[in-house]
Amino acid sequence: MEKKSKIPQPTIDAIKRYATHRLETGSFLRMVLEGDLYGAVMYADEANLAALHDIVLYVIDNVPADGMGSKEAVRSWLARTPAVP
């Protein structure tokens, strides 16, 4: 039986837009992507706070490594033009 994700759908959609189209996220996801979990906790709403563990794992599985992990990595990711499929 597949475990149901606690991640709110708008959060999943924002991560997908970030990873695919290099679109800016809100403050909460920006903190997660930068690896600033203290900041993420401060910006999280109740639903995202409850799903934070799952969100971090989802980001690790769905965002390219060069697009996460530090402020500079996120800034650089957003500055580059997305690849054309």
pLDDT at position 2 is 45
- Determine the length of the chain: 85
Cα gap 84→14, rounded to integer Å: 19
pLDDT at 15: 98
pLDDT value of position 69: 97
Task: Please write down the long-range contacts of 4-11, taking CB distance under 8 Å and 24 or more positions apart.
Answer: 5/51, 5/54, 5/58, 6/50, 6/51, 6/54, 7/51, 7/54, 7/55, 7/58, 8/47, 8/48, 8/51, 11/48, 11/51, 11/55
Global pTM value: 0.89
pLDDT means per 10 residues, the chain with 85 residues, are 78 97 96 97 97 98 97 96 65
